[in-house]
Amino acid sequence: MRLLTPNVGLIKRSKNYEVSLSNKNCLVNMEIFKSLITFAGYDEGYFHLSDTIQYEGNWWLVATWLKHPVLKHRLPERIVQMDGTVIPFQEVQELEYRFLVNSPIPKSVVDGKPQAGYTITIHPASILSAQGPESIH
């Protein structure tokens, strides 16, 4: 998770990044977008940018990235599903971020602690060979 300035007006314009994701059966191109989020009970009133990917037909916040020890690729370690119900969001293209999460997210969810209603995936199986862009980490 990339934490940025508390003043949303100071967040610099970010680009969408494309990542090549591969597994044994296929090669998939995936873009990494940004979501503007807030946390419940932690840094209240501060905005944070989170990397966001599409995985298995849903949007997911990338909580943490890992660097592959041999290939040096970046891969999602932990992702949190933005389902529109528990984590309501809206698409706001043409801003510094693509998605605006409408409700604060418990920081513990992003840290990987299970909570009712939230879907957290650790080491997503179909993207274990993901190569994330070096410049956003």
Low-confidence ranges of the chain (pLDDT < 50): 1-28, 133-137
pLDDT value of residue 132: 54
- CA–CA gap between residue 117 and residue 122 (Å, rounded): 16
Query: Is this prediction's pTM over 0.75?
Result: no
- CA–CA gap between residue 33 and residue 16 (Å, rounded): 5
Q: CA-CA distances (angstroms) from residue 41 to 25, 44, 45?
A: 42, 6, 10
pLDDT value of residue 29: 52
pLDDT value of residue 124: 79
Element (H, E) at 110: helix 107-110
pLDDT value of residue 6: 32
pLDDT value of residue 85: 87
SS3 7: coil
pLDDT value of residue 118: 93
Positive or negative: CA dihedral 127, 128, 130, 136: positive
The residue written with tokens 């610099």 in the block is: 12
Query: What single letter denotes the amino acid at residue 119?
Result: T
